Amino acid sequence: MGKNVTGVGRPRASGAAASSRSAREAVLEAAGELFTGAGYAATTTRAIAERAGLRQASLYYHFPSKEDILAALLAATVRPSLDVAGGLSGGEAPAAARLWALAYADIRLLGGARHNLGALYLLPEIASPNLAPFRAERAQLKSVYRDLVAETGAPAESIGVRANLVFGLVESVAIIRRDDPVLDVEAHAVEGADGVLRLAGLPEPGAALRTTARALLTRS
């Protein structure tokens, strides 16, 4: 991990400005940059507040602890995909198209976010009791993948293994991005979604399936 970053931030806000939604977003933006750059353990709430242009007391108004900031950042890596999954459920589209669509959207979320927050999944702090809601949401997303793999007709005895591999492939974009910060997100999302279908035991996806899957995302 890198050294703690405590450079001069923007002018410190207080009062109404410090309690605004923009202040909360400034904290998350600053923390995302520092956690993925300097490292979670090396980053202090003081450093986050300074980078966000806030007094430390204002930061605590929005987030009682550094772990609460981490929880909010991690939630943003799964909730949008759960929303996509909800929009894809109960439709008449083939399971293969829905699985491709979810994987494509998920990889784009993790690969295209301003900061590589998916890399934070490797932190030992993930096991903290305070992060149980994040772990539950991530498990819920994984169960959606498992259900879609099952819908594709995978043999019952292999569904669990294939779902694990599928989920691992999707989340691996965070590791790839760590090693290649300028990766082509769109190309990785398409190839990754194609790979997800292969892991599910399905034939090589063609242009027609991809078009159907993208159309599902515009409606979800």
% the chain with pLDDT above 70: 91
pLDDT at 195 over 50: yes
pLDDT at 51 over 90: yes
Say which DSSP state 107 is in.
H
pLDDT at 3 over 70: no
What integer best gives the mean pLDDT of the chain?
90
Question: How many whole angstroms from its chain centre is CA 88?
Answer: 18
- Each residue's pLDDT tens digit, 9-44: 333 444 434 457 799 999 999 999 999 999 999 999
The answer to whether 108 touches 185, Cβ cutoff 8 Å, is: yes
Which has the higher per-residue pLDDT, 4 or 25? 25
The answer to whether 76 touches 118, Cβ cutoff 8 Å, is: no
Instruction: Report pLDDT for 97.
Output: 97
pLDDT band at 78 (very low <50, low <70, confident <90, very high): very high
What average pLDDT does range 44-59 have in this prediction? 95
- Give, in order, the Cα–Cα distances in Å from 196 to each of 20, 75, 132: 41, 23, 27
Instruction: Report pLDDT for 89.
Output: 82
* CB-based burial, 43-68: b 16+ in 10 Å, e otherwise: bbbebbbbbbbbeeebbeebbeebee
Instruction: Report pLDDT for 220.
Output: 63
Domains of the chain with bracketed CATH? 1-64 (1.10.10.60), 74-219 (1.10.357)
Sorted by sequence, the CB contacts under 8 Å of residue 84 that are 6+ apart come out as 101, 102, 105, 106, 217, 220
Which has the higher per-residue pLDDT, 13 or 110? 110
